[in-house]
Copies of this chain bind each other. A is one copy, B any other.
Amino acid sequence: MLHPQVQQALDAISSRPIENVFLVACGGSSALMYPSKYFLDREAKTIAADLYSSNEFIHRNPVRLGSKSLVILCSHSGNTPETAEAAKFARSKGALTVSLTNEPASPLAEASEHVIKYSYGPDAPAFETNYSIMYQLVSGLLYVKEENAKFHRMIHSLQGLQAAYDRAKIQFADQAKAFAASNKDEKVIYTMASGANYGVAYSFAICILMEMQWIHSHAIHAGEYFHGPFEILDKTVPIIQLLGLDETRPLEERALHFSRQYGEKLIVIDAKEFDLSGIDEDLKGYISPLVLNFVLRQFANELADARNHPLSTRRYMWKVPY
């Protein structure tokens, strides 16, 4: 069954014309919207989609933002000032605002017309977590606006996500430990992906490696790799290569094929190894980034342990003015 607050948002969406969708958040909350941008690009026949960091969205001030716009925002704490401000800005332009947050008593929730509280933490059912809620919302949008036939199967497939996570947790436990042991002293670790998976690579680079581990990083787009970044590769450079199941997989495979010839520190997480039973075949490409992200979180946990640098360590965030 659909999350009831998603249903409420869809009811509001169905009562008005929507010409475009803006996906607006910062950092990790923005990264979790990338699969939805991919989904909308591939599926939405009448609705354009754009994704912006919250303050970029406000200052860029897209001229097509208006009463026929849906703005989807996300902040875990609901306290991200730029994102709450973006909700106010979008409403001032007449747009419909729907926000995802873990904290319904927050500035973002107060600033938004519709609020969806997602679940969080080790015991949260995968169906109720942020990535899943995003897909419920955008596939629901295309169902109510365009009768997209994937909606009901998407909901059904997302109900199989927890089992996929549980299986992946066991399956990748040893690889996560091995990754941490091999990479704990690295000063630079790149990530790479394309398509629906790029946001997961981006999130691991900026939130896990740079923010939580103070390791230099950059999420390389696998299609861009051969137009600059690949010249950095030698036998000392670690790259985490994600391989998803979406239509852009050939880009990721090509990058890996090259890296394997000239690099020696490649970490590969391949969605083909996942047991995705219960998830519809033609939705596995969309849902793979969610499982890739889940697996990478284990890699992050193990890396933090091996480096004795807890993921909660910060020097600036929430500690000094910025």
Contact = CB atoms under 8 A, between A and B. Distances in A.
Interface of A: 20, 26-30, 38, 41-46, 48, 50, 53-56, 59-64, 80, 82, 187-188, 194-195, 205-207, 210-212, 214-218, 221, 223-224, 226-233, 247-248, 250-251, 254, 258, 262, 314-317, 322
A29 B227 CA distance: 9
Contact of A27 (B29, B42, B195, B224): B224
Given A26-B227, A60-B41, A63-B45, A216 B214 contact: no
Contacts of A80: 227
A232 B210 contact: yes
A315 B231 contact: yes
Most buried by B among A44, A56, A216: A56
A85 to B, nearest CB: 12
A188 B209 CA distance: 15
Contact of A316 (B216, B231, B247, B254): B231
Given A41-B60, A48-B20, A227 B248 contact: no
Contact of A26 (B223, B231, B315, B316): B223
Contact of A214 (B211, B224, B231): B231
Contacts of A247: 59-61
